[in-house]
Amino acid sequence: MTDEPLLRVSALSKFYGSRVGCDNVSFDLWPGEVLAVVGESGSGKTTLLNCLSTRLLPSSGTASYRMRDGQFRELYRMSEAERRFLMRTDWGFVHQNPADGLRMTVSAGANVGERLMAVGDRHYGKIRATAVDWLSRVEIEEDRIDDEPRAFSGGMRQRLQIARNLVTGPRLVFMDEPTGGLDVSVQARLLDLLRGLVTDLGLAAIVVTHDLAVARLLSQRMMVMKDGRVVESGLTDRVLDDPRAPYTQLLVSSILQV
């Protein structure tokens, strides 16, 4: 375990004109930690995720990331090319809709292989072998490697998107409602898979979800957002078992019991 965080976020705000996207968000994320950001739609959690992953530039505030050489770099001062490189190699982004994170008209194998080529792999046999290995890790049969994701079910597409993101050995993965829109049984399988991969690879992850059960299962820490602000944060089980903020109490009490 290192003593330095992987990501330091300080007073991050994003305004859309006079409308608040997210307001004054600060936290540190350490390697191997999974942070869940919860809140209902419109709470600013996706805005926050997009700012952190530099898909969106914040109005104010800073975020610095510890690069592989141990140096912290201010994300919003990097050049566009540097940010893109980070995104392709050291980071992953799992979209709610797999079509946003996959190339739907190239094969499953190529979807995974493409990320490897982006980090400089050129040996076809090796790329294909790694792709096969990753497809099996996300429970996609080897004989589907040449099929396009268009021919895959929603759950399979999502697993393929995860393989595509993790194949380069990223240190930080952003996930936006990774199980949204999937059947419950498919969701459980995906969650279990994600949980295993995150633990085995020691990934840090920021998971945006409106589903508290997903947060409970995947994350150790949690931030609850409302109207762009963090209203409560702490250990996931503490926040869920002893919610303090009125809004968190409302969220927790609204969970349907089965």
Partner 1 sequence: MPTPLVVSDVAKSFTMHLRDGIKLPVVAGVSFSIKAGECTVLGGPSGAGKSSILKMLYGNYAVDEGQIIVKHEDGLVDLAHASPRTVLAIRRQTIGYVSQFLRTVPRVSALDVVAEPLVERGEEREAARGKARALLARLNLPEKLWALPPATFSGGEQQRVNIARGFITGHPILLLDEPTASLDATNRDVVIELIAAKKAAGVALLGIFHDHEVREAVADRVIDVTAFAPGKLAA
**How many residues line the site for partner 1 (CB under 8 A)?**
23
Among 129, 192, 202, 227, binds partner 1 (CB under 8 A): 192
When asked if residue 238 is in the footprint of partner 1 (CB under 8 A), the reply is yes
Among 6, 191, 198, 204, binds partner 1 (CB under 8 A): 191
Residues 6+ apart with CB under 8 A from 142: 132, 135, 136
Nearest to 107, CA basis, from 155, 173, 163, 175: 163
Give the number of other Cβ atoms within 10 Å of residue 90's Cβ.
Answer: 17
Among 11, 119, 129, 235, binds partner 1 (CB under 8 A): 235
Question: For residues 127 and 190, which CB has a smaller minimum distance to partner 1 in the complex?
Answer: 190
Quick note: the x/- pattern for partner 1 over 166-185, rule CB under 8 A, is: --------------------
When asked if residue 229 is in the footprint of partner 1 (CB under 8 A), the reply is no
Among 75, 217, 224, 225, binds partner 1 (CB under 8 A): 217
The whole-angstrom separation of Cα 242 and Cα 40 is 19
Angle between helices 124-137 and 154-166 (to 10 degrees): 130
The whole-angstrom separation of Cα 217 and Cα 208 is 13
Among 13, 21, 25, 33, binds partner 1 (CB under 8 A): 33
Query: What three-state secondary structure class fits 92?
Result: strand
- DSSP, res 257: P
Nearest to 98, CA basis, from 219, 34, 179, 12: 179
The whole-angstrom separation of Cα 208 and Cα 225 is 10
Among 4, 146, 227, 242, binds partner 1 (CB under 8 A): 242
When asked if residue 15 is in the footprint of partner 1 (CB under 8 A), the reply is no
| Minimum CB distance to partner 1, residue 234 (Å) | 6
Binding site for partner 1 (CB under 8 A): 1, 30, 33, 188-189, 191-192, 195, 217, 220-221, 234-235, 237-238, 241-242, 244-246, 249-250, 253
